[in-house]
Amino acid sequence: MQDLAALFDKSAAVLQHSLVGGRYLVAKHHLEAGDVVLQCPVLLTAQLPSWRKRICYACHRMCQARLALRCKGCEQVWFCSPACQDSTTPGSDPSHVGPEGAHKLNGLSDTQVPHQLLCPVLARFGSAKCGADMLCVLGMVLQLLGLQQLAGQAPSETQQRASAAVGAFEVLQDHAAELGKRERLEWLSALTFLRQDSTEDDLLTQAADKADNVYQPLVSALSLPNAAAQMSPQHSLHGPGGSQLLPQFPSAEPSCSSISPACQPGMQQRQPPRALLPHACRANIAEETRSDLPAESSCQDMLSGSLQQRASQRARKPSTGLQHPDVAGPKGAQTQSIDVKAKCAPTTDPADGMDDGKQQGSGGLLVSESPVLDADNFPRHPRSETSVGRVLFLQASFFNHSCHPNCYVHRNPTGATIIAMQPIAVGQELTISYIDEQLPQAARMLALQRDFFFRCNCSRCSFGLREGSSRRKAKRG
Ligand SMILES: C[S@@+](CC[C@H](N)C(=O)[O-])C[C@H]1O[C@@H](n2cnc3c(N)ncnc32)[C@H](O)[C@@H]1O
């Protein structure tokens, strides 16, 4: 908690903890509408496997053609240029990477940990047949372990990130109880996969051993009381150290369906357990025709593109539901668009075997799944978009959800800014909306239960429920 509290030192938020509600944030001082509560850098990103042959691992450039350069060690990551490939070798100068310096996306890189640390473990990812979403999350867990391992020898910024990594695991532990059986099994399989077959000089062996105080409680928290009965026959019960608690990741060409229905061609991909890693969001590609797209674009271009089109589309839509106070944008912060122009389709190489069925042949605007601002600065949730990866925000993950939030999230190229939407008194809880709060109550409840595994107890929902029951009582009486 001590480490975590320090994450908010430079913000207008204070981290609090209650036995009933867990961690939450309150206003450090009085806030006016438009005040910036905190700037939250991206902690980690991970590409979905289906995009890795189109998006350079080092600079995140999105390319039309399939990338030709691949890491010979793990065969799991692709590069757009020899410079990018060289940047992942020890001793290279990262400031020269990428033809347009696109790598200078603060935090927006899954190369924060030197690739040679991750390479031996990533090599095993080729045989992992779990869903694309879980592979993405596993990639992030791997980076977190890498950051932890670096902690002792790294500059202070990296040490801070490593301590944030521990915080991320703690968050995961705290929410393990909320998962359904399927999600727990998938997590147990994934964690076991990370530990098994590792060699002595393997990052995971070293990092997971060091992190055992975090890793083992997590495993226990995820364990089902009657694990043996819940598992499919393909799972055996050998865990690390001979434990009988864990399902082992199948080694010889398992049936995908035993791990995740997401692997089955033509099946709708399940929503990932996004609540697990704090505020792990999707970077999405909205449907748009390819002819509208530029010839080539880096993520930097993409992330700083114009919001004009979205704004004009939005302006035509009538506003419904909750009325938020008018907010002109973050005070002192330039309102930036997060739209991304991309022209390419994801890899549809059948050899991948892990393509997300939703990602078929569309390019478009890259946006975030977390709330983004429209022309009126109201949070909104883009729909019908295709995911290209996951983004992890740490500080933002401590905001509780409310269906009548007093803050909103504004995404920008290097992270997210949380902005007050109304005057907030010192000590008052700061909340954001995880979903489209303009949905009716039943749909909101469904979305929160399905995607975030909790039942909302915000004032609006509680009031709505009381209202519903008193209406029913009135009818009966
Ligand atoms: C991103 S975390 C927020 C921080 C969290 N309170 C903690 O201690 O880690 C999301 C989790 O907080 C809890 N939560 C957030 N908003 C909630 C709400 N409106 N009603 C009930 N639980 C909520 C749920 O357990 C949810 O999985």
In the prediction, which pLDDT does 320 show?
27
| 383 alpha carbon – ligand 1 mean position (Å) | 23
Q: What is the mean pLDDT of residues 119-144?
A: 75
Substitution candidate for ligand 1 out of 16, 40, 271, 401 with most atoms within 8 A of CB: 401
Instruction: Identify the residue whose C-alpha is closest to ligand 1 atom 24.
Output: 454
CA 401–ligand 1 middle distance (angstroms):
6
At CA 202, angle to CA 199 and CA 204, rounded to 5? Answer: 110
Which pLDDT belongs to residue 423? 97
**Any ligand 1 atom below 6 A from CB of 420:** no
Predicted pLDDT at 212: 57
Of ligand 1's listed atoms, the one at least distance from the Cα of 279 is 1
pLDDT at position 303 is 24
Q: Which residue has the tokens 């992942």?
A: 88
Atom of ligand 1 nearest to the CA of 401: 16
Distance (Å, whole) CA 271 – CA 26: 30
Name the strand (E) or helix (H) holding 391. strand 385-393
Q: How far apart are CA 160 and CA 158, in angstroms?
A: 5
CB atoms near residue 46 (< 10 Å): 24
ipTM over 0.95: yes
* Per-residue model confidence as pLDDT tens digits over 141-171: 777 777 666 655 555 555 565 565 555 556 6
Cβ of 24 closer than 6 Å to ligand 1, yes or no, is yes
Q: HSE of 418 in the Cβ direction (CA atoms, 13 Å)?
A: 29
Walk across the sheet containing 407-412 and list its strands.
Answer: 341-342, 363-368, 280-288, 385-393, 36-47, 415-420, 407-412
| 257 or 467, higher pLDDT | 467
Average pLDDT, rounded, for the chain: 59
Ligand 1 close to Cβ of residue 458 (< 6 A):
yes
| pLDDT (average), residues 418-445 | 94
The larger pLDDT score, comparing residue 362 to residue 331, is at: 331
More confident residue, 46 or 468: 46
Please state whether the predicted TM-score (pTM) of the whole model is above 0.90: no
pLDDT the model gives residue 27: 98
Using a 6 Å cutoff on CB, does residue 178 contact ligand 1?
A: yes
Strands 69-70, 372-373: pairing is unpaired
pLDDT at 292: 30
Atom of ligand 1 nearest to the CA of 456: 20
Give the distance (Å) from ligand 1 centre to CA of residue 445: 14
Q: pLDDT tens digits for 396-409?
A: 888 999 999 999 98
As to burial, measured by CB atoms within 10 angstroms (0-12 exposed, 13-18 middle, 19+ buried), residue 424 is buried
Ligand 1, pocket-test mutation among 17, 437, 454, most atoms within 8 A of CB: 454
Summarised one tens digit per residue, pLDDT across range 230-267 is 333 333 222 222 222 222 222 222 222 222 222 222 22
Give distance in angstroms: CA of 400 to centre of ligand 1.
Answer: 5
51 lines ligand 1 (CB under 6 A): no
Residue of 434, 428, 447 lying closest to 30 (CA atoms): 428
292 versus 211: which is more confidently predicted? 211
Bigger pLDDT: 134 or 226?
Answer: 134
User: Cα dihedral sign for 354, 356, 362, 367?
Assistant: negative
Q: Is 4 a pocket residue for ligand 1 (Cβ < 6 Å)?
A: no
C-alpha 148/C-alpha 165 separation (Å) is 7
Residue 216 confidence (pLDDT) above 70: no
- Specify the pLDDT at position 291: 29
- Cα of 407 to ligand 1 centre, how many Å? 15
Write b or e for each residue in 274-284: b if 16 or more Cβ atoms lie within 10 A of its Cβ, otherwise e: bbbbbbbbbbb
Torsion sign across C-alpha atoms 175, 180, 184, 187: negative
What is the distance between the alpha carbons of residues 381 and 174, in angstroms, rounded to a whole number? 27
Distances (CA, A) of 6 to 3, 126, 376, 380: 5, 38, 33, 30
Residue 76 is predicted with a pLDDT of 86
> How far does residue 94's CA lie from ligand 1's centre (Å)?
38
- pLDDT at 198 (0 to 100): 57
Is the pLDDT score of 379 beyond 70? no
Residue 172 Cα to ligand 1 midpoint, Å, equals 12
For the cut 80, the answer to whether the pLDDT of residue 13 exceeds it is: yes
Determine the pLDDT at residue 12.
97
> What pLDDT sits at residue 407?
96
Pocket test for ligand 1, best of 14, 400, 462 (most atoms within 8 A of CB): 400
Distance of CA 293 to the CA centre of its chain: 26
